[in-house]
Amino acid sequence: MQQISEPSPAPRARITGVVYLLYFLTAILGAYLDSRKLVVYAYASNLISDALYLTLTLLFYYLFKPVSRNLSLVAAVFSLLGCAVTVLSRFDLAPFHLSPLLFFGPYCLLIGYLILRSTFLPRILGVLMMIAGIGWLLFLTPLETYLSLYLKILGILAEGSLMLWLIVMGVKTQRWQEQAAA
């Protein structure tokens, strides 16, 4: 019997980058609208950005599944939990106060680790994502008061670099397929 091969990851990687970009843009728009007290439009924009991040989570799961199915699944669960906390908090439905960064920090750490273990993306992107994950977790400590601006810049640099790399360069298809076949 002939084995069905995985579809080429190149278009999926670029789509992942575009979804990442759309997430960034809608999240920024939501923050801007919120600062202008346009609450209904801010809610709409933020819900769209949440939906885009859910989509991004699934796309990353499939992108990194060849590296480690289990770690990619754990990363996705962390992200999904962070998304759930975010959405529940938007509607004041969260049963207790939790910061979504409690989940998004480990998510970035795991994505960074998966990038390091992959052979189809530059390792520097993995290092940047792991540093960003640590930075998001530092937001949960008293250090946030002193480091807030720097941590935000670091997070945007790391996640923005990954997003741009996926849009412009994609992944090394042959190496992705080799890891998928292994």
If one counts the domains in the chain, the total is 1
pLDDT at residue 181, rounded to an integer: 85
Residue 37 resides in a domain: yes
Cβ atoms of 158 and 132 within 8 Å: the answer is yes
Residue range of the domain that includes 135: 9-176
Does the residue 1 lie in any domain?
no
Whether residue 118 lies inside any domain: the answer is yes
* pLDDT given for residue 3 in this prediction: 47
Structure tokens at 155: 């997070």
Q: Is residue 4 part of a domain?
A: no
Closest CA to 170 of 127, 109, 118: 118
55: DSSP letter: H
Query: Is-contact 117 67, C-beta < 8 A?
Result: yes
Nearest to 108 by CA among 180, 20, 167, 178: 20
What was the pLDDT predicted at 129?
A: 97
Written as six digits, the tokens of 56 are 């991004």
Q: Is 62 part of a structural domain of the chain?
A: yes
Measure the CA–CA gap between 68 and 64, rounded to whole angstroms. Answer: 7
79: helix, strand or coil = helix
Q: What is the pLDDT of residue 9?
A: 84
Residue position matching structure tokens 């939906």: 51
Q: HSE on the CB side for 115, CA within 13 Å?
A: 28
Question: Is the Cβ–Cβ distance between 17 and 160 less than 8 Å?
Answer: no
Task: Using the CB atoms, write b or e for 145-172: b if 16+ within 10 Å.
Answer: eeeeeebeebbeebbebbbebbbeebbb
pLDDT by position in tens, the chain (length 182): 444 455 678 889 999 999 999 999 999 999 999 999 999 999 999 999 999 999 999 999 999 999 999 999 999 999 999 999 999 998 888 778 899 999 999 999 999 999 999 999 999 999 999 999 999 999 999 988 888 899 999 999 999 999 999 999 999 988 888 888 87
Q: Is 127 inside a domain boundary?
A: yes
Whether the CB-CB separation of 106 and 82 falls below 8 Å is answered with no
